[in-house]
A and B are shown apart, each in its own frame.
Chain A
Amino acid sequence: MNASQLALLVLLLPAAGAIVLAGRGWRLPRIVTQIVGPGVVWGSFVATLALFFGKASGDFTYWTWIQSGSFQVPFNILIDNLSIFMCLVITGVGGLIVTYSVGYMEHEDGPSYARFFTYMDVFIFSMLLLVLAGNFVWLIVGWALVGLSSYLLIGFWYQRRTAVAAARKAFVMNVIGDAGMILGGFVLFMTYHQTTYSGVFAGINHCRGALLCYAGGDSLQLELAGFLLLVGAVAKSAQIPLHTWLPDAMEGPTPVSALIHAATMVTAGVYLVGRMHPIYDLAPYAHGAVAIIGAVTALFAATIAIVQTDIKRVLAYSTMSQIGYMFLAVGIGAYSAGFFHLLAHAFFKALLFMAAGNVIHAMHDEQDMRKYGGLFRQLPRTGGAFLIGSLALVGVIPLVGFFSKEQILGAAFSKGDPLALGVWVIGAATALITGFYTGRMWWISFAGKPSSERPVEHPHEAPPVMLVPVLILAALSVVGGFIQTRALGIGPSVVSDFLASAVGPLRWEENAGAVVVGLITMVLSTLLFFAAYRFYVERTWKTWSANVPWAQRLLERKYYFDEIYDAAFVRPMDAIANWGARDIEGPVLDGAVVGTGNAAVAAARSLSLTQSGYFRNYVLVFVGGAVVAAVLLLLRTA
């Protein structure tokens, strides 16, 4: 099988699985769903591995989808090291999570069970389409489809009002991003008259050459396209200011949170910036905006995570914060560092979500971690895996999070321009806060004495199907860092070398100071991880929030973003809609329709008066008419 067929197989296997499950899945025995659902994802993973080991690359065009004059949209798949890397993350981590769902969703009835795996396979297909697409049209198709599957999965428990509201919110936010993406694609098409990546990037390089394509060059178009594509990336990756949907998206089942809202879909924005690096490299303002948005989101989300009490919401804000790091990295041009963190984050955040899922399962759907307490002794395996994930999130050496996060910070520290230094300061501060809120989450849930409000006195450890994927990811989080130890200045850098052909190597040297600063950051954040024990379990140190109640309130209200959006957009829209319903719909539209009907009825009623039923009346009219006609005739002849 050659590379183009393999690439198509990677893409179409999950689609085939979804079709099978959607068509007949729920009527077949449950075991079919359990095999087909994860099976197709693993099949995709194997095909991706074949591409990986076959060192495949190329731009494969399968057919021309739209042909209208010079406007041409082919269906082409771009296989390069970046798309293979993304496919490995999506199908590998995705396979583990879908397998885990077999156990987690066990309590659903037949149709819902099959529906869940249908949606999951649709999502995997959409995400693969997004990363494999070789032109902007299919990129946007994949981009919109992941938004749709995210909507379907957040609202999976559609009987819950809150879940439906969260799904709708996520969809609306994502559509704002889709609009940005589409406009960005328009700008690029109008500038270069191409829809394929290769065509557009060739056009950009052509304009850089001796011949300028436009008077004054195409810098303005590139900046505009860069900002518009950034809108899409920001919405999909839940960065400020389009981030409010992600915490609410935790209404979905936990495997969904692990797969879509931690490991894959929300990192699509990072992929987009990496894929579009020829544009961002030439659009300094848009590129800087990426870094600034990333850094601000990282800090902002980390501070909110300090006060959250719902374990999944802590993880959601932590995800926003970590994706902020990735944006920061690709924003300053350290693309491969950003993608290494994407990989690391997929490992440890999927691990954290699935371990949290095990805890929630054991606690009978209780998500408030203040009601846990002392779980480590009763759930040692889940607790251990959660500890590994937490320490990876904090970035403790030698876990994968240390190498990826410190590489980003090191790159920012050593780049040398003021913007990079600024985002480095924010990133380092965020790393310290990360240590604190992660510690708080772990100690409150797993250490100390069991809470008196705990719903289950003696929780049971999860079944193997839910435990094995967690342990695999825990193992990956431990050893994964050793494939790239550049943060220490020595050792291999597998990911960066692999991605160098797609996104280019780092354009500046990391200096030795970065290593020292990185180690100091690591030590400080680890200390803060343990300091949280004193704050929240031993309570020997007075909780900081007692001293600054206003800050506590500000964070608990999430900086009032929801309230501001509510006041700025939702309520005015509601008011306009209400005004329209009251003053337009009723009097004008209904009035016209009902009025027409009423007028017809009134006319008929008055006409029907002439139909008296008396024979003599009719004759009189008839004769009268004849007389009038005769008189008129006579007058005319006269």
Chain B
Amino acid sequence: MSDMTLGGSHLDASWFLILSAILFTIGAVGVLVRRNPLVILICIELMLNAVNLTLVTFSRQLGNLEGQLFTLMSITVAAAEAVVGLAILVDIFRVRDVEDIDELSEMKG
């Protein structure tokens, strides 16, 4: 069952994995190079969802529902993570106006 059909057309699973890899790389590079904290959070979400996509793809390909269950777990954790991250950001914004994540570098050894 290595092949999938989408809207009648025939799609190889590797396409999904390639898309997922592209999304993950965009996310990772975004986290590394962007300075706006909100964008960084969004990039993290992007990476998470890329992984979710991989999980679903393999679940479908291997006919094992555990992968999809894992994706649901992952979405829940991602939601919680977004809540915590945003709450921290909101708190920081209350104290001062941060445009650049590099401004938050006081906690160094």
Interface residues of A (CB under 8 A from B): 607-616, 619-620, 623
A-B contact pairs, 18 of them (CB 8 A): A607-B109, A608-B108, A608-B109, A610-B109, A611-B108, A612-B105, A612-B108, A613-B104, A613-B106, A613-B108, A614-B102, A614-B105, A614-B108, A615-B104, A616-B31, A616-B32, A623-B31, A623-B32
Q: Which chain B residues have a beta carbon within 8 Å of chain A's beta carbons?
A: 28, 31-33, 40, 101-102, 104-109
The CA-CA distance from A614 to B106 in the complex, in Å, is 9
Q: Which of A607, A614, A615, A623 has most chain B Cβ within 10 Å?
A: A615
Which one of A607, A612, A615, A623 lies within 8 Å of B28 (CB-CB)?
Answer: A623
Give the Cβ gap from A196 to chain B, nearest Cβ, in Å. 73
Q: Contact: A613 with B101, CB < 8 Å? A: no
User: Which chain B residue lies CB-closest to A626?
Assistant: B28
Distance A608 CA – B108 CA, assembled complex (angstroms): 8
Residues of B within 8 A of A608 (CB): 108-109
In the complex, residue of chain A having the shortest beta-carbon distance to the beta carbon of B108 = A613
> Complex formed: what's the CA distance from A126 to B109 in Å?
66
Number of A-B residue pairs at CB separation under 8 A: 34
Q: Is the CB of B105 within 8 A of A613?
A: yes
Contacts of A620 in B (CB 8 A): 32
> Complex: how many Å from CA A623 to CA B27?
11
Closest chain-A Cβ to B91's Cβ sits at a distance in Å of 16
| Residues from chain A with Cβ under 8 Å of B102 in the complex | 614-616
Chain B nearest CB, measured from A107 CB (Å): 68
Question: Closest 10 A-B residue pairs measured CB to CB?
Answer: A608-B109, A613-B108, A611-B109, A613-B105, A615-B101, A614-B105, A613-B107, A612-B108, A619-B31, A611-B108
Q: How far is the CA of A608 from the CA of B109 in the complex (A)?
A: 5
B101 / chain A contacts, CB cutoff of 8 Å: 615-616
- Contact check, B108 vs A619: say whether CB atoms are below 8 A apart: no
CA distance A360 to B15 in the complex (A): 117
Q: Are B105 and A619 in contact (CB under 8 A)?
A: no
Do the beta carbons of A619 and B106 come within 8 Å of each other?
no
Minimum CB–CB distance for B93 against chain A, Å: 16
CB-CB under 8 A from B107, the residues of chain A are: 611, 613
Closest to A616 in B: B32
A616 contacts across to B, CB distance below 8 A:
31-33, 101-102
Chain B residues, Cβ within 8 Å of A623: 28, 31-32
Contact in complex: B109, A609 (CB < 8 Å) = yes
Q: Which residues of B contact A614 (CB under 8 A)?
A: 102, 105, 108
Give chain A residues whose Cβ lies under 8 Å from the Cβ of B106: 613
Residues from chain B with Cβ under 8 Å of A607 in the complex: 109
Which of A608, A609, A611, A616 has the largest count of B CB atoms less than 10 A from its CB?
Answer: A616
Q: Please give me the residue from chain A that is nearest to B37 by CB atom.
A: A615
- CA gap between A480 and B97 in the complex, in Å: 109
B61 to chain A, nearest CB (A): 18
Q: Chain A contacts of B104 at CB under 8 A? A: 613, 615
Q: Which residue from chain B places its CB closest to the CB of A608 in the assembled complex?
A: B109
Q: How far is the CA of A612 from the CA of B32 in the complex (A)?
A: 15
A609 neighbours in B (Cβ, 8 Å): 109
Instruction: Please name all residues of chain B whose beta carbon is closer than 8 Å to the beta carbon of A610 when the two chains form the complex.
Output: 109
Report the minimum CB–CB distance from B89 to chain A (whole Å).
Answer: 12
Residues of A within 8 A of B31 (CB): 616, 619, 623
Q: Which residue of B lies closest to A604 (CB)?
A: B109
In the bound assembly, the distance between CA atoms of A623 and B101 in angstroms comes to: 18
**What is the distance, in angstroms, from B26's C-beta to the closest C-beta of chain A?**
13
Give bound CA distance, A611 to B109, whole Å.
5
Once bound together, how far apart are the Cα atoms of A611 and B101, in whole Å?
16
| Chain A: minimal CB distance from B55 (Å) | 17
* Residue from the set B31, B101, B104 with the largest chain A CB neighbour count within 10 Å: B31
Q: How far is the CA of A487 from the CA of B108 in the complex (A)?
A: 99
Closest Cβ–Cβ distance, residue B27 to chain A (whole Å): 10
Chain A residues in 8 Å Cβ range of B105: 612-615
Taken together as a complex, chains A and B put the C-alpha atoms of A213 and B107 apart, in Å, by 85
Report the nearest A residue to B31, measured CB to CB: A619
Q: Are A619 and B32 in contact (CB under 8 A)?
A: yes
List the A side residues contacting B32 at CB < 8 Å: 616, 619-620, 623
- Cα–Cα distance between A614 and B102 once the two chains are bound (Å): 6
Q: Across the interface, which residues of A come within 8 angstroms of B109, CB to CB?
A: 607-611
Kindly state the separation between the CA atoms of A555 and B106 in the bound complex, as whole angstroms. 82
Closest to A627 in B: B28
CA distance A612 to B28 in the complex (A): 20
**B48–chain A nearest beta-carbon distance, Å:** 14
Question: Most chain-A CB neighbours within 10 Å: which of B32, B40, B104?
Answer: B32
User: Chain A nearest CB: distance from B104 CB in Å?
Assistant: 7
Q: Smallest Cβ distance from B17 to chain A, in angstroms? A: 14
In the assembled complex, the Cα of A134 lies from the Cα of B67 at a distance in Å of: 92
Give every chain A residue within 8 A of B33 (Cβ-Cβ): 616
**Least distance between A100 CB and chain B CB atoms (Å):** 76
A473 to B106, CA, bound (A): 90
Complex CA distance for A609 and B108, rounded to whole angstroms: 8
How far, in whole Å, are A615 and B108 apart by their CA atoms in the complex? Answer: 10
A615 to B101, CA, bound (A): 7
- B28's nearest neighbour on chain A, judged by CB, is A623
Q: Which residues of A contact B28 (CB under 8 A)?
A: 623
A612: B residues at CB distance < 8 A: 105, 108
Q: Closest CB of chain B to A605's CB: distance in Å?
A: 9
What is the chain A residue whose CB lies nearest that of B29? A623
A171–B28 CA distance with the chains assembled, in angstroms:
81
The docked-state distance in angstroms from the alpha carbon of A607 to that of B109 is 9
A615 to B40, CA, bound (A): 10
Report the bound CA distance from A613 to B104 in whole Å. 7
In the assembled complex, the Cα of A173 lies from the Cα of B31 at a distance in Å of 82
Bound CA–CA A610/B107 (angstroms): 12
Other contacts beyond A608-B109, A610-B109, A613-B107: 15, CB < 8 A: A607-B109, A608-B108, A609-B109, A611-B107, A611-B109, A612-B108, A613-B105, A615-B40, A615-B101, A615-B102, A615-B104, A615-B105, A616-B101, A623-B31, A623-B32
Given the complex of chains A and B, what is the CA–CA distance between A616 and B35 in angstroms? 9
Across the two chains, which residue of chain B brings its CB closest to A614? B105
Distance between Cα atoms of A613 and B102 in the complex (Å): 8
Cβ of A233 to closest chain B Cβ, rounded Å: 71
In the bound complex, CA of A611 to CA of B107 (Å): 8
Q: How far is the CB of B14 from chain A (nearest CB, A)?
A: 17
B62 vs chain A, min Cβ distance (A)? 18
What is the bound-complex CA distance between A612 and B104, given in angstroms?
11
- Nearest-neighbour CB distance to chain B for A608, whole angstroms, equals 3
